[in-house]
Amino acid sequence: MTQLDKNTKTITIPANTKQKDPIFLHEKKMVVVLQEGATATIFDHDSVCDLTFHVHAKSTLNFFSTITQAGSKTISIFLHGQFACAYLNGAYLLYENQTCSLQVRQEHLFPNTESLFVLRGALAGTADVSIHGTIFVDKQAKKTKASHQNKTILLSSGAQVQSCPDLAVLNKNVRCSHGSAIGKFDETMLFYMCSRGLTKKMAKRHLLESFLASPFAQLDDKKRETFLKPVTKKLQEMV
Amino acid sequence: MLSCEKNKHNIFGRGFNKKIITDLSEQKNEPGWMTDFRLKALELFENMLMPTWGADLSHLDPYDIQWYIKPAEKMWDSWEQVPRKIKKTFESLGVPEAERKFLAGVGAQYESEVIYKNLKKEWAKQGVIFTDCSTGLHEYEKIFKKYFATVVPPDDNKFAALNSALWSGGSFLVVPAGVHVELPLHAYFRMNSPAMGQFERTLIIAQPGSSVHYIEGCSAPVYGKSSLHSAVVEVIALAGSKIRYTTIQNWSSDVYNLVTKRAVAHERATIEWVDGNFGGKSTMKYPCIILKGERAKGQLISVSVSKKGQQQDAGGKIIHCAPHTTSHIVSKSICKDGGRSTYRGLLKINEGATEAQAKLQCDALLLDDSSRADAKPKIIVAQEDANVGHEASISTIDEQQVLYAQSRGLSASRARALIVNGFLDAFVKELPMEYAVEINRLVALEFDDTIG
């Protein structure tokens, strides 16, 4: 059973609880604690600005987030016990002169932990986003597997993205990586879709939708569609 | 702050101020504009703060070093004339032999001045200029002044300001239009005294349609007192030219290596930095390429090996300013016995750099639990049709690969040395064969316990 502390802003998933339904976050500043053996799925739509996860031994966190409004967001994940896992998936879509700053920290403090962060985004107008992702692996955190991947499509000449991934590793027996890609639409894909009868506008919209939806592939179709509604709606305004 | 340990070679002692720098400039018979340049740079240095990021510089006192030691009264162009003591040092490093066998020319700097410079006749006939910067200033002032400090101005950073105030020695290389120097030119830098500061200044200009490969190597004996190597390198590749700049740095473990290297590539020009960092106590070096002209290309391949007590804070910067420019950065680092390496880089695509393509890859191998590796790239893209990719990884040697090699009859130690060699292959294959063989040999000695 979920315990929502009074006066806020802390959610604790008790030990050995497999949370079936996703938890939607609504507060600006939140702490989520997964006790030993717990599993939880957390959703966030532009709500939280400062989010901290404490993931204990043998627990699994699945976090899904979308950003469609300007602002600043800090997400910190601390893996506090062996075999703790955290999977973070996000998508952002900004246009006009929206600016956004996203800071993500994945901190591995124990052996045999895993954290994967996947982010997809698209910028139009003169939107500006800066992404700072840090992976820290403590000296004792051997057999850590950690990754940070972000990809962005720029839709206009005034848009700008800054990507600053950071790896700080103090144990040799790990697999850590980060990757970043920034670019434009693949013209070949656009051409293919147009050759199938779609207008260029429709083709762009479909390609963007699938690009932004890719981090959420593990959700079932209905949940994914519901979760991505704000993004889809904004895409229709933009493209 | 001025304690004097003057002698016939160390004529200024330790420390420096306006008067001492004016005396140095007078002694070198420099034109007034250079004296003014040095004095302005000194003022900038005194007003700038030490960097608060990067390698640990807390024990470095730039005023407590012998910053100018004159090893001889003049420069020679024949090894027979070089004083025996100095010649012996370079002979043990294989420099004269290398010149005979496979180089177009050699410059050798001992302490603060270049004592030997020779360019083979066939290149001198074609108008190639290869000399030290002081000679360049005196004999080719017009072209020297045109490009000097245009790529790295003295206010760039604190150590560029220090170098601008105290510079001495270094290389001045000009390749005329259409000339392709087919053999490498090599400069060798040696700090032989304890608590020494070397501030060489290098200026390379490739005129349109020309090409050259410049190699620099450096070393110093271990004294247990900190030395400082603070160089500035400016490279200008004019339209359609190509410059490859290779560095094999193997300073001793008490040297602070703080270098500013920057290149500008004009239209259709190519600049390649091949940067090997094997020595030094603390290194801060980020070779930079500014892709200024359309269809310019930049490539940076760097390697750093950090061992006990070493901190290699290195990387690279590439800035795309024009359309259809391409760049590629590959960085490899290895840490063992408590060494620490940091990749620090910048990849920037400015607005207007349409269809720019850039790729950045940095990988690190940690060989034990006492070592540390960080990767801190920064990517800024302000052009919608640019194509930029980056990847980084940190891990240790794959034990499955070691097991496979052992199953083929190799010892575990030999297998690890081979894997490390393979990891460095992207760098080693860019070196002339003679240097590649030497690097492979060094790696084998370092990582294969079975070799005595």
Model confidence pLDDT, tens digit, residues A143-179: 999 999 999 999 888 899 999 988 898 888 888 988 9
Measure the CA–CA gap between B427 and B429, rounded to whole angstroms: 6
- Do A178 and B351 lie within an 8 Å CB cutoff? no
User: Does residue B107 contact residue B76 with C-beta atoms inside 8 Å?
Assistant: no
Q: Does B449 touch chain A (CB under 8 A)?
A: no
Provide the pLDDT confidence category of residue B49 given band limits of 50, 70 and 90. Answer: confident
Question: For residue B416, what are its two tokens?
Answer: 């690890």
Higher pLDDT, B3 or B197: B197
For residue B275, give the H/E element and its range: strand B270-277
Does residue B7 have a pLDDT over 50? yes
User: Does residue A23 contact residue A51 with C-beta atoms inside 8 Å?
Assistant: no
Does residue B104 have a pLDDT over 70? no
Cβ contacts (< 8 Å) between A180 and chain B: which residues? 377, 379, 388-391
Q: How far is B232 from chain A (nearest CA, A)?
A: 27
Measure the CA–CA gap between A125 and B349, rounded to whole angstroms: 17
Best B359, B393, B399 member to test A by mutation, with max A CBs in 10 Å, is: B393
User: Does residue B188 contact residue B90 with C-beta atoms inside 8 Å?
Assistant: yes
- Do B390 and A166 lie within an 8 Å CB cutoff? no
Distances (CA, A) of B332 to A227, B39, B274: 41, 39, 12
Provide the pLDDT confidence category of residue B157 given band limits of 50, 70 and 90. Answer: very high
Q: Does B379 touch chain A (CB under 8 A)?
A: yes
Provide the pLDDT confidence category of residue B148 given band limits of 50, 70 and 90. Answer: very high
Spatial CA neighbour of B242 closest among B279, B274, B206, B280: B206
> In terms of DSSP bridges, do strands B270-277 and B232-237 run parallel, antiparallel, or are they unpaired?
unpaired
Residue count of chain A: 239
Does residue A6 have a pLDDT over 90? no
Q: What angle do CA B295, B299, B303 make, to 5 degrees?
A: 175
Residue of chain B whose Cα is closest to the Cα of A156: B384
Distances (CA, A) of B5 to A239, B194, B228, B279, B396: 74, 12, 18, 28, 48
- Do A172 and B367 lie within an 8 Å CB cutoff? yes
A14-18, A26-30, A212-216, B5-9: least confident range: B5-9
Q: How far is A25 from chain B (nearest CA, A)?
A: 31
- Do A154 and B366 lie within an 8 Å CB cutoff? no
Q: Where are the beta strands (DSSP E) in B32-162?
A: 105-110, 113-119, 129-131
Residue count of chain B: 452
Provide the pLDDT confidence category of residue B262 given band limits of 50, 70 and 90. Answer: very high
Cβ contacts (< 8 Å) between B372 and chain A: which residues? 168-170
Higher pLDDT, B7 or B192: B192
- Do A163 and B379 lie within an 8 Å CB cutoff? yes
Does residue A127 have a pLDDT over 50? yes
Give the number of other CB atoms < 10 A from CB of residue B314.
29
For chain A, the C-alpha Rg in angstroms (whole number) is 18
Does residue B301 have a pLDDT over 60? yes
State chain A's mean pLDDT as an integer.
89
Please say whether the dihedral angle defined by the alpha carbons of residues B400, B403, B408 and B414, taken in this order, is positive or negative: positive
> What residues are paired with B258 via a beta bridge?
B284
A85-99, B50-64, B89-103: least confident range: B89-103
Provide the pLDDT confidence category of residue B98 given band limits of 50, 70 and 90. Answer: low
Question: For residue B188, what are its two tokens?
Answer: 């060798």
- Do A174 and B364 lie within an 8 Å CB cutoff? no
Q: Which residues of A touch B (CB under 8 A)?
A: 139, 152, 154-184
- Do A159 and B384 lie within an 8 Å CB cutoff? yes
**Residues sharing a CB contact under 8 Å with residue B331, sequence separation 6 or more, in sequence order:** B300, B301, B302, B303, B304, B314, B315, B316, B343, B345, B361, B362, B363
Share of chain B above pLDDT 70, in %: 82
Residue of chain B whose Cα is closest to the Cα of A182: B388
Provide the pLDDT confidence category of residue B11 given band limits of 50, 70 and 90. Answer: low
pLDDT at position B219: 66
Name the residue among B371, B380, B382 with its Cβ closest to that of A172.
B371
Q: What is the mean pLDDT of residues B245-255?
A: 84
* Residue pairs between chains A and B whose CB atoms are closer than 8 Å: 114
> In terms of DSSP bridges, do strands B129-131 and B227-229 run parallel, antiparallel, or are they unpaired?
unpaired
Name the residue among B351, B368, B391 with its Cβ closest to that of A172.
B368
Cβ contacts (< 8 Å) between B395 and chain A: which residues? 172, 174-176
**Residues sharing a CB contact under 8 Å with residue B332, sequence separation 6 or more, in sequence order:** B302, B303, B304, B362, B363, B364, B365, B423, B424, B426, B427
Cβ contacts (< 8 Å) between A179 and chain B: which residues? 389-392
Spatial CA neighbour of A213 closest among A117, A121, A95: A121
- Do A164 and B379 lie within an 8 Å CB cutoff? yes
- Do A165 and B377 lie within an 8 Å CB cutoff? yes
Measure the CA–CA gap between A39 and A17, rounded to whole angstroms: 6
**Residues sharing a CB contact under 8 Å with residue A43, sequence separation 6 or more, in sequence order:** A22, A23, A24, A25, A64, A65, A227
Provide the pLDDT confidence category of residue A47 given band limits of 50, 70 and 90. Answer: confident
Question: For residue B346, what are its two tokens?
Answer: 């910048």
- Do A166 and B376 lie within an 8 Å CB cutoff? yes
Q: How far is A228 from chain B (nearest CA, A)?
A: 25
Q: What type of residue is A211?
A: F
Q: What is the mean pLDDT of residues B182-210?
A: 84
pLDDT at position A17: 86
- Do B390 and A179 lie within an 8 Å CB cutoff? yes
Higher pLDDT, A61 or B187: A61
* 3-state percent helix, strand, coil for chain B, nearest multiple of 5: 25, 35, 40
**Residues sharing a CB contact under 8 Å with residue B130, sequence separation 6 or more, in sequence order:** B105, B107, B117, B119, B123, B171, B172, B173, B185
pLDDT at position A2: 44
Provide the pLDDT confidence category of residue B69 given band limits of 50, 70 and 90. Answer: low
Higher pLDDT, A136 or A231: A136
Q: What angle do CA A170, A173, A176 make, to 5 degrees?
A: 70
Name the residue among B372, B389, B392 with its Cβ closest to that of A181.
B389
Measure the CA–CA gap between B282 and B257, rounded to whole angstroms: 6
Q: What type of residue is B392?
A: A
Cβ contacts (< 8 Å) between B368 and chain A: which residues? 172
Cβ contacts (< 8 Å) between A171 and chain B: which residues? 366, 369
Name the residue among B374, B383, B387 with its Cβ closest to that of A167.
B374
Give the number of other CB atoms < 10 A from CB of residue B19.
8
CA atoms within 13 A on the CB side of A205: 14
- Do B393 and A177 lie within an 8 Å CB cutoff? yes
Q: How far is A154 from chain B (nearest CA, A)?
A: 5
- Do A175 and B395 lie within an 8 Å CB cutoff? yes
pLDDT at position B194: 64
